[in-house]
Structure 1
Amino acid sequence: MSESSGPLEGAPHPASAERAVSVELATAYGDFLAIGYLDRDRGDEHMVLIHGDIEPERALTRLHSECLTGDVFRSKHCECGGQLTDALHAITARGSGILVYLRGHEGRGIGLLAKLRAMKLQSEGMDTVEANIALGLPVDARDYGVAAEILHDLGVRSVQLLSNNPRKIESLQRHGIRVDARVPLLIPPSAENASYQWTKRDRLDHYLPHLDAVTVIAE
């Protein structure tokens, strides 16, 4: 990785995201510069993976919400693990890009234990939105302001965003990061997560056009 892959000169210092450490990180997907950030307001510790040189305009970027069950244990309940893998492959295939891994976003921001309780309700027939509401919790409590601050700190002004979630686009643009293009991450549905993906499309407005062709998922 070249020396110029670090943060660009003149980037504004973020309001709450404090850069703590950077280190080269070799992974199964390729070589990255890993940068750790501390959210001084919430105490969350985030990590950024940068491959190649940072592009200030139209940087291929993924904001990935922490999902222990999907990212680590490859749960079939959601498609988070597949999205993480596909995003890293897309970034290395492009030759440059940024993945912002956002801690504190487990279960769309409700936390691990609450997410597991919501999953139990889903196994009993509720969808992911109904389960959160039944628990008296927000449907989606995530905030992407710190992600925008991190991108500002890296000198990024506009992105091509690897996402199906319109709220990520709205939040970045509200915080001064222009989204020049959306790059969908469409994971083929399985018997275990088809209903979950349909709910994200129909009730959370996620861009999932590939589900239109899906009628029956074999058990």
Structure 2
Amino acid sequence: MNKIPAIEVPRAEIRTRVTVPLSFGDGYAVAAEMTTFHGLVDGREHLALALGAPKPGSTPLVRLHSECLTGDVFGSARCDCGPQLRESVERIAAAGGYLLYLRQEGRGIGLYNKLDAYALQDQGLDTYEANTALGLPEDARDYTAAAQMLIALGARSLDLLSNNPDKAEQLTALGVHVASRVRTGVHATEDNLRYLNAKATHTGHTIDLPHIPAQATPATCGA
């Protein structure tokens, strides 16, 4: 079988590096080196956070985390984005690697559309059905800019911290070697169980769900 060649990724360059001390509500604190870039194909202000230091000969642990204002900032219980972000920072700091904070709210459909999708979910649609009912893609995210960032950082081979198979598939097609895919924890609650179940059954996320009765409808996030 002939190997499919990787997609040619335009070159991006590092713009600024600055160390920022991070502190979370549960008391966990760590320093991150934040990096900005020139030349990202989508023109968005994505960030790379370097955390910890990989051991000699090891590959960096990397998470592609899509922005979720409702979950990351306001602590929305309708998704698992905030807990995944918190978990990822600590795990990457321990192993050494990068968290890419990608400005792709609502799986790439934007904040206002995400909130429109919330309203449709409150009427019974799941997170993917709500997007399509609005005439939008189920998942509009493209990880070309993420590949540009990783290549600029010298991370052409990595361990990917993700339950989402699409992230690994896109990075591989873009010429970034995913040595292994590492699952995140399962942050299930009564409020987000339907959301997590939709990700597991509809798009093959590797999530082993506990038996929690779902009493509320999930949000359109998707980190």
- For 2:220, the equivalent position in structure 1 comes to none
CA displacement, residues 144-188 of structure 1 (integer Å, 9 cap, x when unaligned): 111111111111121111100000000111111111111111223
TM-score by length of 1: 0.86
- For 1:136, the equivalent position in structure 2 comes to 135
- Secondary structure class of the residue paired with 2:128: helix
C-alpha contact (below 8 Å) 2:40/2:145 kept by paired residues: no
C-alpha RMSD over aligned residues = 1.9
- Secondary structure class of the residue paired with 1:160: strand
C-alpha contact (below 8 Å) 1:33/1:49 kept by paired residues: yes
- For 2:169, the equivalent position in structure 1 comes to 170
Higher helix share: 1
Structure 1: give runs of 5+ residues left out of the alignment: 1-13
- For 1:100, the equivalent position in structure 2 comes to 100
Of 126-135 and 28-37, deviating more is 28-37
How many residues end up aligned between the 2 structures? 202
Q: CA deviation at 1:16?
A: 5.4
TM-score by length of 2: 0.84
C-alpha contact (below 8 Å) 1:16/1:146 kept by paired residues: no
- For 2:203, the equivalent position in structure 1 comes to 204
Alignment of 1:86-125 (within 5 A): 86-94=87-95, 96-103=96-103, 105-125=104-124
- Partner Cα distance (2:183, 2:21) in 1: 26
C-alpha contact (below 8 Å) 1:57/1:156 kept by paired residues: no
Question: Residues 40 and 172 from structure 1, CA distance in 2 versus in 1: closer, same or farther, beyond 3 angstroms?
Answer: closer
- Partner Cα distance (1:40, 1:151) in 2: 11
Q: CA deviation at 1:93?
A: 2.2
Question: Residues 175 and 40 from structure 1, CA distance in 2 versus in 1: closer, same or farther, beyond 3 angstroms?
Answer: closer
- For 2:192, the equivalent position in structure 1 comes to 193
- Partner Cα distance (1:49, 1:181) in 2: 20
CA displacement, residues 54-104 of structure 1 (integer Å, 9 cap, x when unaligned): 67852111110011111111100100001000000101222x11101111x
Question: Residues 189 and 53 from structure 1, CA distance in 2 versus in 1: closer, same or farther, beyond 3 angstroms?
Answer: closer
C-alpha contact (below 8 Å) 2:41/2:144 kept by paired residues: no
- For 1:22, the equivalent position in structure 2 comes to 17
- Partner Cα distance (1:143, 1:184) in 2: 21
Question: Residues 217 and 110 from structure 1, CA distance in 2 versus in 1: closer, same or farther, beyond 3 angstroms?
Answer: closer
Question: Residues 153 and 54 from structure 1, CA distance in 2 versus in 1: closer, same or farther, beyond 3 angstroms?
Answer: farther
- Secondary structure class of the residue paired with 1:30: strand
Structure 1 position 216 matched with structure 2 position 217: no
- Secondary structure class of the residue paired with 1:195: helix
- For 1:160, the equivalent position in structure 2 comes to 159
Report the identity percentage.
43
- For 2:51, the equivalent position in structure 1 comes to 51
- Secondary structure class of the residue paired with 1:93: helix
- For 1:84, the equivalent position in structure 2 comes to 85
- Partner Cα distance (2:113, 2:145) in 1: 23
